[in-house]
Amino acid sequence: MNRTGPLVIVLVSALAAGIIVAAGLVRDPGFFVPISVEAGLLIGVTAIFIRFARDPDDRAFLWRVAMLALVARGIAMLIVYGVLDPIVFASDHYTYYARGQEVAAFLQQGIEGRFVGKLQVGWEWVNGIFRVLLVDADAAGGNLGPPILNLFAGVWTCLTAWALGREVFDDKVGRIAAVLCAVFPSLVLWSILNIRDGFATLLITTIVLVAVRSYRRIHLPDLVVFLAMALALTTLRDYMGILLIAGLGLGYGLSARPGRIGSTLVMGTVMSLGLFFLLERFEILTPEIVEDPFASAASFRTSLQQDFAGGLAGSAYATGIDTSTLQGALTYLPLGLLYFLFAPFPWAIESPLQALTLPETLLWYALVPFTIVGLRRGIRREHAAGLLIMGVLAISVSSYALVEGTFGTAYRHRSQFLPLFFVFAAQGIRWWVVRRRTIRDARMHRRADARAAMLRPDRG
């Protein structure tokens, strides 16, 4: 395999990055020095993660995919922060920056803010700590510390997707999944902004990986990592912990009933959704912010549609549908799944932001058939650990589908589960490639046999 091309790309990218950093150091060393130190430390953490791969070929691949992810996100960051404005894609980019100021005031002066006594304040604390450590010199509003941390979370998600695909299927599936995570547009975008989605995606993928590793035998280090990651995820989105536990439970149920996967999947999903609505009704699940999808499905969808119907996304959909009861929710669920998984639709683009998603939407549509093939092959006994991923997807995606009310939020929240989908898409792609290769080889053998028969002397 010729590796000159990727090496040249890496060297050119490193040279360009060096020139940019050098110019920044000359212009504003008080800001760029700590940012450079942060990036250097995070590259070191990335190197530690890659060292866990025992095979030298695997380590070489992981370095290449990490560099690919870094280059893709670096280019996107230059465009978003240098040409556009982060608020175009996520208004809460500045919200977290402002809340981080409150945390910084608490750390420096003891002034309590709105974050006191709340659970979902993990990203606020990240912003606050960076506000204390780094100077405020970012022209876009706030320092680049949290976005750079988020960027590396996106890189680590690629490494985790590789490990997950390898654990469930094989190394080639893991490699395809890692490359998809490295370059898929929405995963790139959400990992360069000051929002919690990039880290939430990493934690979700890591928790599922640990659960899959523990499918056959539970190890104490895996249990510790699982609990730590679940606690960290709770500080970002508290309901996701419940969704993952329910999904993993459903996955174990699917693996215990190999002959009744379809019925178990449907009944387990319905029972889990009913439990969530019951918990919400008795206020056991009480939201702290408007994004919590289990606060009240009907009011949540309505408020989102009112907030975003006239905004840049212009994306409110399925208005006037009541999902406040279990019956209404289950009736709406098929339509909600359609919107959550496939919106915004290319034939119904109504805003500039929706138009920007068109290339990714078409790519996602192209991956869907491969994902279906991968899901079908994932139910085989030799890949039974993949049923845990299916359980998580069934519960989580169904829950989100019930409460999403705009194209923008559906597009953003869907990205949290893309690495899990990519594992099955990668398996489908690998199966298709092997099948095409087998068909090609069979044709070549038939042609060779035909030529040999034509050249064989007539024995008649």
For 79-132, what is each residue's pLDDT tens digit?
888 888 888 888 888 888 888 888 888 888 777 767 666 777 888 888 888 888
HSE, CB side, 13 Å, CA atoms: give it for residue 104.
Answer: 19
**Which of 323-361 are b and which e, b meaning 16 or more Cβ less than 10 Å from the residue's Cβ?**
bbebeebbebbeebeebbbebbeeeebebebbeebeebb
- For position 284, what pLDDT does the model report? 46
Residue 165, token pair as written in the block: 């695909």
Q: Which positions of the chain have pLDDT values less than 70?
A: 1-34, 113, 115-117, 135-142, 256-326, 381-383, 449, 455-460
Q: What are phi and psi of 42, to 5 degrees?
A: -70, -30
Report d(CA 222, CA 243) in Å as an integer.
Answer: 20
Residues in the chain: 460
Report d(CA 423, CA 427) in Å as an integer.
Answer: 6
Phi-psi region at 325: left, alpha or beta (left = phi > 0; alpha = psi -120 to 50) = beta
Domain residue spans of the chain: 4-435
Give the N- to C-terminal CA distance of the chain in Å, as an integer. 49
Q: Which residues, at least 6 apart from 68, have a Cβ–Cβ distance to it below 8 Å? A: 179, 182, 183
Place of tokens 């929706």: 354
- For position 14, what pLDDT does the model report? 56
Q: What are phi and psi of 314, to 5 degrees?
A: 50, 50
- Is the Cβ–Cβ distance between 272 and 246 less than 8 Å? yes
Cα angle for residues 33, 38, 39 (degrees, 5° grid): 100
Place of tokens 């654990």: 167
DSSP state of 383: G
Q: Which residues, at least 6 apart from 102, have a Cβ–Cβ distance to it below 8 Å? A: 111, 113, 114, 115, 124, 128
Model pTM above 0.85:
no
Residue 457, token pair as written in the block: 């002397």
- For position 400, what pLDDT does the model report? 85
